[in-house]
Structure 1
Amino acid sequence: MDVDALTHELYGLRPQEFTAARDARASEARVAGERAVAKRIAALRKPTLAAWCANLLARADEAQARRLLELGQALREAHRTLAGEELRELSGRQHVVIAAMARQARVLAGEAGQPVSEGVQHEVEQILHAVLTDHDAAEAWMGGVLVKAPHAAVGFAGLEPVPDTTSRRTSTTAPAPPSAETPARARSRAQAQETAQAKAEAKTKAKALAERAAGEAEQAEAVLAEAEAELSDQRARLAALEEEIASLGEKLARAGAERDRLTTDVDTATRHHDRAEQRAKKAREAALKADDALDALRDASSAASG
């Protein structure tokens, strides 16, 4: 059984159809003796509605999906080289393209018999923004098998500007010489620095909490996947047992019917036996009487001749 082809097939189904189809396929693989394949299939997770909608885009027009990823690559390059004008122009194009694609995803979902809300359309937009900075999510999306929204993209983390590269919009005006700072301005600057430091610390703590929550969520998802696989396996075993019980029930019913038929035949044979036995008894009695009568005649004949 080709697991990749089957996975692509399952993720093309509407989300509400996914679980039953996945369990059925896993059961088929298990019955066929392909336990490793059955385990991989059972571990597949149902896609969110927004992820399914995003997958529709890649499945419907692979070339369009690839152009979006190429636009993301151009944005990363512009960020890396500090190409300000180009970055702004590409960023504007990105928002326009993604908004149009999200609307298209909503239309495709309706055509597939799964109308979605404007909120889901907005989630699709967030997914499309995120796949531009997440390589693994981009591959899953291009394959039409994205399960859930990737972590929200923030800028182009991990892409540092090329050393010694300056913005293409650097000013030609020389900086003004520093002016004397008054005590009031010094206090204001110190307060601003303290505020900025407090915000930075709060942001660091929030980021740590978010990362920890994301890790816990991933662990919970893994536990859920294991539980779903175990549930699928137990359901398949229960279904096999129920089939066996049904088969045994049919055999038992046939055996009961055969028993009833044989019981009827035995009763009929018993009645025939009883009647035959009675006839045989009467015949034996008649034979004895005939023998007695013959003996009497013989005795009488002997007496008359003597």
Structure 2
Amino acid sequence: MLFESAHVRVTAEYGVASLWLAFPGSPVNALDGARLNELDAALAAIEPNPFLHALVVRSAKPAGFCAGLHPSVAEVADRSALAARGQRTCARLASLPFTTIAFIDGPCLGAGLELALACDHRLCVATPLTLLGFPDRFTCFGGGTRLRGRIGRRAAAFVESGRTLSGREARDCGLVDRAFCARRTRIDLRTFLDQLERSRRVPDRARDETGSAHERRAFVRADLSGLGRPVAGPTDTGVLLARGFITPLEAEPMRARASAAEPVAAPADPLEPALRRVA
């Protein structure tokens, strides 16, 4: 055990550390000032470790990665200071002297997606529960700049749309590196880590704080009344299949459970890739 606090722990095996998030309550692993302090303390503890070559940031809870800000943040008097604290924590994560990977299994929304964007790589378990996006329509922890680095000029339109993507949609637009089904989770994660082990090279990073001050000012004015609101994905089998939440193999048992008299039909107008609409 490299670090342990009330809700964050860091374990390591063969040079690969795993940072486990286990913040209580709903939404899953939601962040606030105290939780950012725990996360930052964990990162500071492992930063000088010369024996690590990779860090995997993941959830210790089965229900999701990190679903954004805790509802209590709406009552914070100094939002600018909170945003600055979150920006410093994400900047520390982004500058660690070893490769970082966000392992996303479940909702990765708002500040949670900003945390994932601070990592060098993002791996995604593509299930109906895995959603990525900014449903509250703002960034506050430096995610706006990092998002532009991933998807270019479409970033602002994507944030403002409030849309959420499936894991495979996020992969197709460049937001995540890989998306795989739940059955292959362990195999694909191990394969990816083995590839990193062979290279042991920290990716080139260009630190860019352009827009950080603007994000803090915008966060002060943002409407936070919706924090903690559940974000639901589609439930129709045809839509799930069309948008990549499930594979054809996974769709079969879902259709089998449906009434034979009322089979689930594919949508008349299958959704285009989400970013094509907000571009």
Bigger helix share? 1
Name which structure has the greater RCO, CA cutoff 8 Å, separation 6+. 1
Q: What's the TM-score, normalizing by structure 2?
A: 0.23
Bigger strand share? 2
